Structure 1
Amino acid sequence: MADTTHSAGHEAASAPGMPQLDFSTFPNQIFWLVVTLVVIYIVLSRVALPRIANVLAERSDTIQRDLEKAEALKAKAVDAEAAYNKALADARLEASNIVAETKADIQKDLDKAIAKADAEISAKAAEGEAKIKGIKDNAMVSVEVVATDTASAIVDAVMPGAADAKAVKAAVKAQLKG
């Protein structure tokens, strides 16, 4: 028997080809394959996979916290934008109120200045009319004197000695009045 085993091992060693494909070693190879797979399964299921699961869980939690923080920051940004827009609208309203008040103040000042200018113009116009009336009255007096003198001279030239100063003056006044 020792001979047969020795000769079979010798034949296997001397046989050409791959030793993995030798059917006589298949049960041994299958045994070690199963043992190796069981060991790998146990190592992976007890050590590596829980660690990977923990890392994935932590990563998921971190992502969830980051998303929640992002939502909170987004809400704060929306609130800040709303506050900014409200402040901007309030500032615009305040600016338009200031512009309206300033326009009203300027209009009041302008109205006062126009009223003052109108009063001054009216006073100057009245003063000018009074001066014109005075000049006109003086001119009328001068015209009357010149007309009386001229009429007296003409009547004296046409009819010497017939000129009555009172009658000539009354006739000139009547003509000047219209």
Structure 2
Amino acid sequence: MAFPNVYTHRKVAETSAKSCEICYRPSTSVLITTDNKDWFYVCPSHLKDKGFCTPKIDPAEVEARKKRELDEEIARVKKEYEEKQKKKKKEEDEKNEKDKKDNDKKDDKEKDKDTKSDDDKKEDKTDSVGKDDATSPTVEEEEPRVFELKNMFYQQRVQKKRQIEIAKRNRERMQDPTFFPSVPRNLP
């Protein structure tokens, strides 16, 4: 009859929202046991309440997520570094070509280069800002999915399930014609 004190948090559609077991507000969050014997609607704010339940966090999952985030960060930094190196090499090649072609117009070239380099620097800054925004990972803290109810709430759930089972058995007994005594047929 008893079920494990391990509940999984699931969401339902807005049209299927029912009242929270605790505060009676409409909620789309459901806590359900692993064997589907018990489930109830609960507000997401109650899941954050330490007096109601505690999240069960798998240390291996946390380590895997940290490692994955670190790998993504390393890949992003390597990519940025390679792009910067390519840009530098490209600029050096352009300088060398211009120096070879225009040795006679050195003064004009320096003036143009200064204005171009100022423009390039401004563009590089705007590009780098745009790239940082685009490549920065939007790390949303994932909410835990598995919870363990506090002992008092768990006992209430078990007791409620027992009462439902007892009421069901009583209804079945009352449907049986032999449950009630028969009317006496003989005179006393």
Structure scoring higher RCO (CA < 8 A, sep ≥ 6) equals 2
Structures share fold, TM-score greater than 0.5: no
TM-score (normalised: structure 2): 0.26
By percentage of residues, which structure has more strand? Answer: 2
TM-score (normalised: structure 1): 0.28
Asked which structure has the greater CA Rg, the reply is 1
